[in-house]
């Protein structure tokens, strides 16, 4: 079959600037391309050619700087020049009608990674027209599926949850040469590391985690928080929020390292130097993919019961869930529980790696996705 994957206008594929959707496509693509002729339609980027063949797939990149509708028009114009058996549209229900006109006769699948069918994202009328055209909708969490079905129960039968995955070879337990070098570079020696990876935005909750680390330092001054991430993918520029958390971190002194943006191809080294992973999401997170990466690296997890985050961990066996999600003292208590008990950290980490191997490899994701694409 000839399959087109239509990416969002936000970030390029492969994930040279990061991004959960871009990482997802990069993970399943080798398995899809082994069985079908796959073309990835995405946004252009200075680091990538306009067109190329790589890894058994074809990449076509179009301009996206003038907004999503113009980008969708260019993507549709490309699709209209060729014949397609299947088109999968990523996270943009607003694109579906235009894509359907450009690829008549193709099986249409929507891959939802956020609550993009909510009324504040797309008008109910436009959403219903898109859902009527679609042959299937894949969601990356039950939270996203339930949220969509609440708005459009008449289309419930079209939805299926397929959890995302992780590269089990790159993300694996134990330090490697790169992570050992990072410990020296960061000046943290053998100190226990609490790791957070994510964009610096209020909904990601780093301000809450920094308050928690101030409390942790009272009983565990040896612990250090390593925060990886910037305001936006590939950029280290500062808005008012980032400036505030940088000042907040500076006040905590030696117990925090604010690393900034790290290319996705290098981020596994940070997971492999950590002892505990924390996700401090304050919003209804669809399901942060950092959970998969922490699990694959055999780390115990502290996370919030927000959105879909809790769906892939086992509370009490592989993770501690923080409730309420906005209380620094609740985060501090969970972190200290793990710092106080190395045996518990080890058991939770081992359980996470076991679950990652059993459920979250890219081969499993691709197998389930192919069942939808192939009908």
Q: What is the pLDDT of residues 322-336, one digit of tens each?
A: 999 999 999 999 999
pLDDT for 238? 84
Q: Which domain holds residue 264?
A: 177-359
Whether residue 247 sits in one domain with residue 161: no
As a whole number of Å, the end-to-end CA separation of the chain is 12
pLDDT for 335? 98
Task: Specify if 73 maps to a domain.
Answer: yes
Residues 6+ apart with CB under 8 A from 169: none
What CATH number did the domain enclosing 152 receive?
3.40.50.2000
Task: Specify if 55 maps to a domain.
Answer: yes
Band (pLDDT 50/70/90 cuts) for residue 69 is: very high
Average of per-residue pLDDT across 246-269: 95
Band (pLDDT 50/70/90 cuts) for residue 89 is: very high
Is the predicted pLDDT of residue 122 greater than 80, yes or no? yes
pLDDT for 183? 95
Whether residue 126 sits in one domain with residue 106: yes
Average of per-residue pLDDT across 239-250: 95
User: What does the alpha-carbon distance between residue 11 and residue 186 come to, in Å, rounded to a whole number?
Assistant: 29
Whether residue 128 sits in one domain with residue 54: yes
Total number of domains in the chain: 2
Task: Specify if 172 maps to a domain.
Answer: no
Whether residue 118 sits in one domain with residue 246: no
Task: Specify if 192 maps to a domain.
Answer: yes
Whether residue 345 sits in one domain with residue 288: yes
pLDDT for 204? 96
Whether residue 202 sits in one domain with residue 118: no
Task: Specify if 26 maps to a domain.
Answer: yes
User: What does the alpha-carbon distance between residue 10 and residue 82 come to, in Å, rounded to a whole number?
Assistant: 24
How many other CB atoms sit within 10 Å of the CB of residue 364? 15
Whether residue 185 sits in one domain with residue 137: no
Q: What's the per-residue H, E or C state across 109-139?
A: EEEECCCCCCCCCCCHHHHHHHHHHCCEEEE
Q: How is residue 280 written in tokens?
A: 């401090």
Task: Specify if 338 maps to a domain.
Answer: yes
User: What does the alpha-carbon distance between residue 294 and residue 303 come to, in Å, rounded to a whole number?
Assistant: 11
Band (pLDDT 50/70/90 cuts) for residue 227 is: very high
Whether residue 205 sits in one domain with residue 151: no
Quote helix, strand, coil % in the chain, to nearest 5: 45, 20, 35
Q: How is residue 135 written in tokens?
A: 């042959």
Task: Specify if 170 maps to a domain.
Answer: no
Whether residue 157 sits in one domain with residue 204: no
Band (pLDDT 50/70/90 cuts) for residue 370 is: very high
Whether residue 305 sits in one domain with residue 210: yes
Whether residue 366 sits in one domain with residue 354: no
Whether residue 351 sits in one domain with residue 221: yes
pTM, two decimal places: 0.95
Q: What is the pLDDT of residues 8-52, one digit of tens each?
A: 999 999 999 999 999 999 999 999 999 999 999 999 999 999 999
Band (pLDDT 50/70/90 cuts) for residue 65 is: confident
Classified as helix, coil or strand, 193 is strand
Average of per-residue pLDDT across 137-157: 97
Task: Specify if 171 maps to a domain.
Answer: no
Band (pLDDT 50/70/90 cuts) for residue 232 is: confident
- Contact between 273 and 179 under an 8 Å Cβ cutoff? The reply is yes
pLDDT for 249? 97
C-alpha closest to that of 266 among 287, 293, 285: 293
Band (pLDDT 50/70/90 cuts) for residue 231 is: confident
């Amino acid at each position: 079959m000839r399959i087109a994957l239509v990416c969002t206008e936000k970030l390029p594929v492969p994930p040279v600037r990061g991004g959960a959707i871009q990482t997802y496509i990069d993970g399943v693509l080798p398995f899809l391309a082994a069985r079908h002729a796959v073309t990835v339609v995405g946004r252009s980027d200075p680091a990538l050619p306009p067109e190329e063949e790589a890894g058994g797939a074809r990449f076509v990149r179009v301009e996206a700087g003038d907004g999503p509708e113009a980008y969708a028009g260019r993507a549709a114009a490309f699709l209209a020049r060729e014949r397609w058996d299947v088109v999968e549209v990523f996270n943009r229900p607003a694109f579906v009608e235009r894509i359907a006109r450009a690829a008549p006769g193709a099986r249409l699948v929507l891959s939802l990674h956020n609550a993009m069918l909510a009324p504040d994202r797309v008008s109910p009328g436009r959403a219903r027209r898109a859902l009527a055209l679609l042959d299937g909708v894949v969601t990356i969490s039950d939270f996203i599926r339930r949220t969509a079905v609440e708005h459009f129960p008449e289309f419930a039968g079209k939805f299926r949850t397929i959890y995302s995955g992780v590269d089990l070879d790159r993300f694996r337990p134990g330090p490697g040469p790169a992570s050992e070098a990072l410990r020296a570079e960061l000046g943290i020696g053998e100190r226990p590391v609490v790791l957070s990876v994510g964009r610096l935005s209020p909904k990601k909750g780093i301000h809450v985690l920094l308050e928690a680390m101030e409390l942790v330092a009272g009983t565990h001054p040896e612990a250090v928080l390593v925060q990886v991430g910037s305001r936006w993918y590939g950029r280290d520029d500062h808005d008012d929020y980032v400036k505030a958390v940088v000042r907040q971190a500076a006040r905590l002194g030696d117990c925090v390292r604010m690393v900034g943006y790290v290319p996705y191809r290098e981020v596994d080294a940070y997971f492999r130097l950590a002892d505990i992973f924390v996700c401090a999401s304050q919003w209804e997170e669809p399901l942060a993919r950092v959970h998969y990466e922490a699990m694959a690296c055999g780390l115990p997890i502290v996370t919030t019961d927000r959105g879909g985050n809790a769906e892939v961990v086992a509370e009490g066996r592989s993770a501690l869930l923080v409730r309420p999600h906005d209380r620094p003292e609740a985060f501090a208590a969970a972190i200290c529980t793990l710092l106080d008990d190395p045996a518990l950290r080890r058991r939770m980490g081992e359980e996470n790696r076991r679950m990652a191997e059993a459920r979250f490899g890219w081969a499993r994701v691709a197998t389930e996705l192919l069942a939808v694409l192939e009908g």
